[in-house]
Amino acid sequence: MAASSNAEQTHLQDMEEGDAGMEEKDRDSDDEVEEEGMGVDISDDEEDNSSEDEKENEAEIQRLEEQLSINAFDYNCHVDLIKLLKQEGELVRLRKAREKMSELFPLTEEIWLDWLKDEIRLTEEEPNREKVYELFETAVKDYICPEIWLEFAQYSIGGMGSPGGMDKVRCIFERAVTAVGLHMTKGQTVWEAYREFENAILSTVQPPPGRIPTREEQELLKTQIERIHTLFRRQLAVPLMDMEATYAEYEEWSEHGVAETVMHQYKKALEQLAKYKSYEEALMAAEPPKLAEYQSYIDFELKEGDPARIQITFERTLAENCLVPDMWAKYATYLDRQLKIRDMVLSSHERGVRNCPWTMGLWKSYLLALERHGADHLAVSGRNCSHCFCCCVLPIWKDLRPSSGVFVFLTGVFEKALSAGFIQATDYVEIWQSYLDYLRRRVDFSKESSKELEELRGAFSRSLDYMKQDVEERFGESGDPSCIIMQIWARIEALHCKNIQKARELWDSIMTKGNAKFANMWLEYYNLERSYGDPVHCRKALHRAVQCTSDYPEHVSEVLLTFERVEGSLEDWDVAVQKTETRLNRINAQRAKVAEKEANVARQEEERADQRRRTKAEKKGQKKGPKGTRAGEKRKAEQDDHHNEWNNSSEHGTKRHRGNGDQTAEEHMVTETGLFGKKAPPGYKRPPPGNKKAQQGGAAAAHQQSSNDDDKPELRNDNSSVFISNLAYTLEEPEAKMRTLFEACGPIEQVRPVFASKGAFKGYCYVQFESTVSVAEALKLDRQEVEGRPMFVSPCVDKNKNPDFKVFKYNNSMEKQKIFISGLPFSCTKEQLEAICKGHGTIKDIRLVTYRSGKPKGLAYVEFADEAQASHAVLKMDGMCVEDNTISVAISNPPRRTAMDKAGSSRLPVDVPRQVFGSRGRGRTQLSLLPRSLHRQSGPENGAVAEQASAENAAGETKPLSNSDFAKMLLSK
C-alpha cells in the first residue's frame, strides 16, 4: 500500500500540473482574444462606461436583495441575483446568495455545477477540503444527477493522498454507481470513470519490467486485477446503451477471455435492453418535459417490478418534471408501500414539498411519513420556541435532511407547511386535521391530564384562531363552513376526556356559525348526546332542531317522534306532535308560496320569450315587407279596392274611376318590365288586350320567376359560411380584405359585405366557403386584430330558426391550468406577458381582454400545460410589479353567466308598456298628418272602424286607411 500511495501521489501531481498548464493556456488564449478584439489600450470612455455598468449592476443587486427580504420565495429573483453577483465577481456575496436559495429550493443541475466549480477554485489554496465535500453531499440529495456524481468522484481523487483517501474515493464511486449506474443513457460514464480510476491504480502497483515482484506485490496486483474484472462483470450485467463497446473492451482487456457466466449475464442484459430501447428512443425523440413518455416508462417498470429500476426511472422523471405534484406523490406512495426504507422515503417526501410547496397533499403525506418512521415530535411540530417562524424555522430548513438521521430540535414540517402558500382555504383545513390527528395519537387518555393533552387542546384553539384570522383574511372564507375541526374536538372531549359539557359548548358555537338550519348538523349533535349525554339534552336538541331546520324538517320531526315513542311520556309525545305539526304546516305554507312565485316567474319568462320571438318576426316582416309587393303594386291594389268600394256605394258621391287609357298604360308597364321593375322572363308572350286574367297570369309568372332568381338555395349556404362582425366602419374594400384574410382557410365561394342605404360599410359581412371544412379553420381567426379592432368570427346561424342562439367560446367554470391576471398596464403586449410567464412553465395560450374597439382592459388569461405550473405561477406572480402596476394573479374561475348576463338580455322586459310608433320607429318631429277632426279615439258611433282597427292591432299589423274608410268616418259625423 505504501508503494501504491507513492505512485498514486506522483500520478496525481502529474495530473494537477497538466491541469494547471491547461488553465494557464486557456487564460493566455482568452487574454489574446480580448486584446485582439478590444485593443491593448482602453480609452477613458470605455472605463467610464464600465464604471456606470458596475453602478447599475450594484443598484440592481440591492433591489433584488430588498425584494427577497420581503418575499424570500421568489425563485426568479434568486436566480437573477446569483447571475449578477457572479458577473460582478462578488464571490463572498455569491456564496451567501446560493446558500439562501438552497435553503428554500432544490437547485438545478446547472446551478449546482457552477457553484461547485467556484467553490473548488476558492478552496484550492485551503488545506481543508471538507467544505466542498459537504457541498457535494448536499448537491446529490436534490436530484439524481450523473454529472454531479461524476464531478464528486473526480474531485475526491484529488484528496486520495490523504489518510484513507483511496477508500473514500472508492466509497464515493460505489455510491455513484448505486445511485445512477442504472441510468440507461448516462450511467455508462460513471462506470467508465470508475474503471479508469482502478486502471490508474493498477499501473502504479505493477512492478517495473525486469524485476521480480514480491509476494505482497503479487497479492496486491492480483487483488487490483480482480477489482477491474468485477467492475466489468457488474457493468455488463446492467442494460445500458452502447454496452456492446464495453463487452468488446472487456474481451480485449481480459487475458483469459470472457467467462461463460459473464456472457450469460451480458446476453440477459441485452434482452432487457431490447425491451427498454423503445422507451428510451421515445424519450430521445420527445421534447421536454417528456411527461407522457416518462409516465409510460414508469408504468412499464411497475409491471416489471424491479425496485432499483423503478426508482431510477422515477428519479429521471422528476429531474425533468420537478414541478409536477402528482409525480412526487406517486413516487412517495410507491416508496411508502413497497420499499419502506426510512432514509429513502423521507428524502423523497422532503424533496417533494421543497419542489411543490403549494401542494397540500404532499405536506400531508410527509407528516404521516414522519410519524410512521418515528421522527421526533419537534421535527414534526416545530413549536420549540415562542419566536416567529422566519426567525426560528426558516434558517435551519436546510438542515432537515432525512438521510442524516437527525430530527431533534430541528425545523417543524407543520409550521413550514402553514407558510407554504396554499391556493385554497380548504387546504389549510386538511393540513390542520392531519396535524391534529397526529397530536391526538400522542395523547395517553388513561391519564386525567398530561402535557400532550394540553398541547392537543392548545392546537385545536390555535387552529380555530388561524382559520378565523389568517385564512379568512386571505380567502374571504374560513374553508371550514361545517366546522369539521370543532366537531372532531367535541367528539374527542366527549369520548376520550369524558367532558360532555365542553362538547356542548363547542356545538353551541358550531350552531351559531350558520349551521342551525341544516338537519344533518342537528342530527350529528343528537347522536353525540345519544352516545355520551342524557335523554334530557337529547330531547332539547331535537326540539331546537325542529324549530330551526329549514332543509329537511320532516326528517328531524320523524327522529323526534321516534325518540318520544321509545323514551318519552304521553305529555312529551303530545308536545312533540304539536310542535312538529305546527312547524310542518308553516314550512308547507312557505313552500307553496315559493312554488307559486317560481311558477309565476317561469310563466313570465316564457311569455317574454314568446313576445321577443313575435317582435323579431314583426320587425323583420315590416323591414323586408311581404315578398312580391313593391310600391307600384301596392298602389295599384289600393286603387282597385277604392274603385270597387266606390262602385258599391255610388249614392254617396259621383267620383268615378280612371278610364281605359290609364289602365292600358299600367298593364303595359307590368307586361314589359314585370313587377319590381324587372324585365319579362324569356319566351314571355304578351296576352291580347282586354284579357285581364291572362295579364294577371303573366304577372304571377313574372313574380314567380323573380322570386326563384332571388332565392336560389345554392347561392347561400349557412353551413359553409361564417359571420364577421366588429369591423371598422372606415374599412376600405372590405370584400378584398376579407378574401385575402380568409383565403388561407380554404377556397372561398363569395364574400358578402353589408352596406347601408347610402353606401357606407356597416361593419359586418359574410364569408361563404366552398366546403364546410373551411369553417372550423375560419373560426380560429376569431379576435384577430384588423386595423386596430378585434374581428369577431362566429358561425352563420339563421336567427329566425334559432332566435336565442349565442356564441360564447370561452369556459365559464374553473380552469385550474389557466390563470387570470388583472391590473396590467394598458401598454402590455402578448410578447411582454409571455416573457413574464414563461419562467413558470410551458405556456399554451395567452389572451389579452379588450373592448370591442380593441382598447385593452388590463386583463389577461394565460393557459399553462398543467395545473401544477399554473399554481406555481400564481404563487410567484401574485403581487408582482409590471411597469409600476401591481398585478393580481389567481386561478381562472369566471362567474357563471346567468340569463341576464348573456348578450342581448339587457333589453327592457316585454311586459313594460311601450308606445307604438310604426315599423320605422319614432319620427323626429312626431307631427301628425291626420286632420284634427279625425285625431281622436273612436267612440260608439264608429264602432265598426274601431273593431277593425283593434283587430289589426291585435294581429300586429298596421294597415293604411283607404278612401272608403275616410268617407265612412266623414259621413258618420
Residue 314 burial (CB count, 10 A):
24
At 684, the pLDDT band (50, 70, 90 cuts) reads very low
Task: Answer for the pair 471, 479: CB distance below 8 angstroms, yes or no.
Answer: yes
At 708, the pLDDT band (50, 70, 90 cuts) reads very low
Which segments of 780-825 are extended strands (E)? 784-786, 789-795, 815-822
Task: Answer for the pair 180, 238: CB distance below 8 angstroms, yes or no.
Answer: no
The CA radius of gyration of the chain, in Å to the nearest whole number, is: 44
Task: Answer for the pair 730, 853: CB distance below 8 angstroms, yes or no.
Answer: no
Alpha-carbon separation of residue 579 from 504, 555, 560, 585, 591 (angstroms): 24, 14, 10, 10, 18
Does residue 691 register a pLDDT over 50?
no
Across the beta sheet with 721-725, the strand order is: 748-755, 761-769, 721-725, 789-795, 784-786
Q: How far apart are CA 410 and CA 414, in angstroms?
A: 12
Runs of H (alpha helix) within 419-450: 425-442
- pLDDT (tens digit per residue) in 492-515: 999 999 999 999 999 999 999 999
Share of the chain above pLDDT 90, in %: 42
Q: Which residues are registered as beta bridge partners of 748?
A: 769
Q: How far apart are CA 931 and CA 186, in angstroms?
A: 102
Task: Answer for the pair 408, 379: CB distance below 8 angstroms, yes or no.
Answer: yes
- Provide the angle, in degrees to the nearest 10, between the axes of the packed helices 291-304 and 307-320: 170
Q: How far apart are CA 444 and CA 264, in angstroms?
A: 59
Residue type (1 letter), 653: G
List the single range of 31-35, 252-256, 626-630, 930-934 with lowest mean pLDDT.
31-35
Runs of H (alpha helix) within 423-552: 425-442, 451-466, 472-475, 484-495, 500-510, 519-532, 535-548
φ, ψ of residue 94 in degrees (nearest 5): -65, -40
Q: Which residues are registered as beta bridge partners of 615?
A: none
- pLDDT (tens digit per residue) in 522-546: 999 999 999 999 999 999 999 999 9
Task: Over range 393-407, report the average pLDDT.
Answer: 37
Residue 761, helix vs strand vs coil? strand
Q: Which residue has the higher pLDDT, 891 or 913?
A: 891
Query: In this predicted structure, what is the pLDDT of residue 274?
Result: 94
Give the burial string for 477-487 (b: 16+ CB within 10 Å, else e). ebbbebbebbb
Query: In this predicted structure, what is the pLDDT of residue 251?
Result: 92
Task: Answer for the pair 547, 579: CB distance below 8 angstroms, yes or no.
Answer: yes
At 682, the pLDDT band (50, 70, 90 cuts) reads very low
Residue type (1 letter), 170: R
Q: Which residue has the higher pLDDT, 243 or 953?
A: 243
Look over the chain and give the mean of its residue pLDDT values, rounded to a whole number.
78
Q: Which residues are registered as beta bridge partners of 725?
A: 792
pTM of the model: 0.60
Q: Which of 105, 134, 101 is nearest to 352 (CA)?
A: 105
Task: Answer for the pair 468, 478: CB distance below 8 angstroms, yes or no.
Answer: yes
Query: In this predicted structure, what is the pLDDT of residue 390?
Result: 34
Quickly list DSSP for 697-737: HHHHHHHHHHHHHHT-GGG--GGGEEEEES--TT-SSHHHH
Query: In this predicted structure, what is the pLDDT of residue 292?
Result: 92
List the single range of 380-394, 530-544, 583-597 with lowest mean pLDDT.
380-394
